[in-house]
Amino acid sequence: MATWRFHGGLIWKENGFKENTSIDIQVSNAEDREIYLSESSLLVPGLIDFHCHIWAPGASVGVTDTEYISSGVIGSVDAGTFGYDGWENADRLWQNSPMEIRSWLSVLPEGLTIHPNPNPTKPEDISVERLIETASLAGNRLYGFKVRLGQIDAKTDRGLLEVARNAAEKSGLKMMVHLTGSSLSIDEVVEILRPGDVLTHPYHGQKGHVLDEHGKVSAAFKQAVDRGLLLDVGQGSKHFSWKVFQQAALKEGIKPNFISSDIVRNTWKKPPVNDMSYIVSRFIAGGLTKEEVFSSVLDNACRFMGLELDYVNRILVLEADHSETQYLDSEGDGITGHIQYNPSIHINHGSVIFSHELN
């Protein structure tokens, strides 16, 4: 084993960044090195993506774990790529990944293995028994049931929510609800959700968004958050509006618990999604503090996932680029930022994954 000693930069510890004097990381596939970082460099154990879509056989929509790791991600949550028709086989593969993978079970038996899906399974044809049976085999690797609203009509949306609520109550698990494009009002959606459930895409700007007719955050939505509803950004290519985010998060203080990518094959390495270091950068540029963003990506995600993040044989170095960058949303609007963090060194499980620049 060799030692890579990192000097300088800012290191994430105890919910914030501290000055790094030096830290040693053991590696098995390189020689000893002394690495001196700039004062703006960030050191973190790795990045966590709380909402993504991971490849397994049958899911061409997903991105492989190897690709995620190559971008500095060490843990992720698959957000319903599979339903009960394919989840067990996918999970069997994911358990052997060098990346920590957990998941949500789509209430649709086909999940996203058919995408786009012009004829998703109707709510009345979904087996609650099979949802519960699949969840019972998963241990702590499955958090609950994912509902994608906005595919057909209001009746379908209500039916899917009822199926997921029924399965969640009987199994003692949670719900994650995709909000974008729903024919239901936000007030009706949050009425069925419970503390600890997750609402993803809360800052989208399409039909069914969280603002009322006066452009303010819905009172029912605000009350649901106060009761413990958790919010997940789920950036994606179609699920984010700077206008809604600025009103809800920055003006009214309804900030996300989790900042995530919702990456799929078609958005991998392409704005406005790109990868997790890009997602981190865009929300710092968008008005959240560096500490708020990394607390969401690291502390909140790990707490929900039951993971312990440390620097035992792993580290990710992010270098700051302060050139002007345009960060677009899904509506064609954009903001101008002067920060973009780029991964330069990644060590995971004692193996150097990449090292782009060394001093």
pLDDT value at residue 359: 46
Size of the chain in residues = 359
Q: Is the separation of the CB atoms in 211 and 180 below 8 Å?
A: no
- Convert the pLDDT of each residue in 326-338 to its tens digit: 999 999 999 999 9
Quickly list DSSP for 8-69. SSEEEETTEEEE-SEEEEEESSS--EEEE--TT-EEES-EEEEEE-B--TT-TTSB-HHHHH
Specify the amino acid at residue 257.
N
Q: Which residues pair with 266 in a beta bridge?
A: none
Specify the pLDDT at position 358.
46
pLDDT attached to residue 14: 81
Give the C-alpha separation, 125 to 85, whole Å. 13
User: How high is the pLDDT of residue 357?
Assistant: 63
**3-state SS class at 208:** coil
Q: What are phi and psi of 319, to 5 degrees?
A: -100, 135
Residue 15: the pLDDT is 86
d(CA 219, CA 191): 12
314: tokens are 């792993």
- Please report the pLDDT score of residue 356 as a whole number: 86
CA 42 to chain centre: 20
Q: Are 325 and 314 in contact (CB under 8 A)?
A: no
What whole-number distance in Å separates Cα of residue 191 and Cα of residue 185? 10
Q: What is the mean pLDDT of each run of 10 residues along the chain (359 residues)?
A: 97 94 97 97 98 97 97 98 98 97 98 94 98 95 98 97 98 98 97 98 96 96 98 97 98 98 97 97 98 98 94 96 97 96 97 80
Query: Which residue blocks in the chain are alpha helix, DSSP H?
Result: 65-70, 87-94, 128-136, 154-171, 186-191, 219-227, 242-245, 276-285, 290-294, 301-305
Helix, strand, coil shares, percent, the chain, to 5: 25, 30, 45
Q: Distance of CA 80 to CAs 29, 72, 111, 304, Å? A: 35, 22, 6, 17
Cβ atoms within 10 Å of 67's Cβ, excluding its own: 17
Q: Which two tokens stand for residue 319?
A: 């270098």
pTM for the model: 0.97
The per-residue pLDDT for 29 is: 96
Angle at alpha carbon of residue 305, lines to 344 and 57, rounded to 5°:
75
| H helices present in 55-185, as ranges | 65-70, 87-94, 128-136, 154-171
Q: How far is CA 188 from the centre of its chain?
A: 25
Residue type for 172, please?
G
CA distance 215 to 252: 11
- The phi, psi pair for 342, rounded to 5°, reads -120, 130
